[in-house]
Structure 1
Amino acid sequence: MLRIGLLGAGRIGRVHAQAIAAHPHSQLCAVSDAIADAAEGLAAEHGATARDSMEIIADPSIDAVLIATPTDTHSDLIEAATAAGKAVLCEKPVDLSLERAMACQAAAAETGQPVMVGFNRRFDPSFTALKSAAEGGEIGKPELLSITSFDPAPPPVNYIKVSGGLFRDMMIHDFDMANYLMGQLPVQISAVGTAIVDPEIGRAGDVDTAVVTMTYADGMIAVIKNSRRAVYGYDQRIEMLGSDGLLQAHNILENAVVKSTANGVTGAKPTYFFLERYMPAYRAEWDAFVKAVQGETAMPVTLGDGVAALAMAEAATRSAQSGQPVAMADVLKPVAK
């Protein structure tokens, strides 16, 4: 039984707490949060205790920590936890700074402790089935990947100001998904973005609508489309075209009823947001982490994967700002050790 400390009791922390408590081989023992009432309330729900983050990390009875705190604390907590001999699952992104994330990766590697980055979409049943089919050669050689990710509504502008921007905060999931499906990093990234949904987002220095095109050494192309507004629900689709066919992962709908009348054919909308859409993926993600820590499998999403996705977000940010394509080699070179 793995004894777990949860750092962060906000919305995503609560999701993780449910997964930890429900798993037969993990026990939620301690919870921390900058807001004491939040930590105490969540701890009480699961029979845990509310404690300070560094106390949890220093406790030798805690086997692993799950980091669900604000992004600007992630690297420091990863380093502290691994230095204390803890396994770590950290929510994305590793950091807002690529250089800091790479330094964190190096420091954690010296400890030998396992670290997993929370790219939960890799564990979505539809997306894993698409990857399996592609790797099985069912559509021949993959040639063109298209990832659509539209939120139902933008977050508050106050969140936008500290999020690191759409490419680091929202599209980073899609960068990781592209890496997961393509099995390699792109060589070049081109991005365009605009603040067409909410001008306040633009005044805050961010975009709310963006398209990124990625090219690969073997000629493959991937396209990612993001928007902070889709009035019909949470739009999450993947399409992969290959030499022998097409693979598609469609939206998960609110229900499976289709009405067909003389007036037309209608069906339900997509599920509203990520909590409804990806709860099975969060549970599968935690199960994969437990198995990896127990030595049953390799760590499925590494700290290196987190750094790679952040580097792609950095390249996209530079491209959107300059209007020019950005080579991944140029992004990685200044921080390469």
Structure 2
Amino acid sequence: MTDLQIDAHGRLRHLLTTEGLPRALIQRILDTAETFVPEAGVPPKKVPLLRGKTVFNLFFENSTRTRTTFELAAKRLSADVINMDVAHSSKSKGEDDLDTLYTLQAMGADIFAIRHPENGAAARFAAHAAPHVAIVNAGDGSHAHPTQGLLDVFTIRRHRPDFDALRVAIVGDVRHSRVAHSTIHALRTLGTRDIRVVGPRHFLPADPAALGVSATTDTAAGLNGADVVMGLRIQRERIEGDALADVADYHSQFGLHAANLAHASATALVMHPGPINRGVEINADIAYGQQSVILEQVRNGIAVRMAVMAIIAGNRAPGGGPPSA
């Protein structure tokens, strides 16, 4: 995976996962994203970094936030953007995914943002992409969602830049969450060591130590003193059988509501990648309360995705500088 993502000069070629990304590269992405965050009250401006480039949003799964923010990011970089409705495209006629890739490459694609239900799909596309084409993983199965992980740590950094001292609690369906995996890898690379995952036993990773986290079914213990609390959606589409069979009341035990959040730091940031299931993993008053940075995560997603595409495009320009305007 690292060989596919990083070229021989250590530059970002594709973005497939946060796992194995060098700390300096993550910091460069976050620093670049800062330059794309508009000042309060100032409308966002378009920049010409991807003028003349074509970005395809190739989504084999439904999405609202991710696809829309990729589209906005590409347009703010002055790229031409094509959104593919794959369910009604040639795939419905039996065309292989790679044939779709080859066809769209022939039409002049430069960057693909790809969401796919299969683990490892993004790497498969990257392994077969033309040399001038970049793949950005917009979520593959339960494996990875790197731009979400990066926007999560970007949002945290804007409030709590001391990653080494952070206490982070991730609550919910960690086992099936590509977001959790990507955010955990990014946090650990940036120096965070106190990462707790909390949820019913079916939702906890099979090997927490390998992921670099501690795991518990005790919400009070998991949230104790946490500086950041992230709720996760139950990934029902990726769960086989009844993973909630041993939980009488998920919301009461693991939902982000006032009683459970009382165990965290009084100034803890509340996060959620969306979509939100009100009254299941989080209450509306918490999701839109003073501690919440959930809507900020959405806004920051545009800047982070702009940064990723601008850096990748720049790495393909002569000399590795910004692409010509």
Normalised to the residue count of structure 2, the TM-score between the two structures is 0.46
Normalised to the residue count of structure 1, the TM-score between the two structures is 0.45
Q: As a proportion of its length, which structure holds more strand?
A: 1
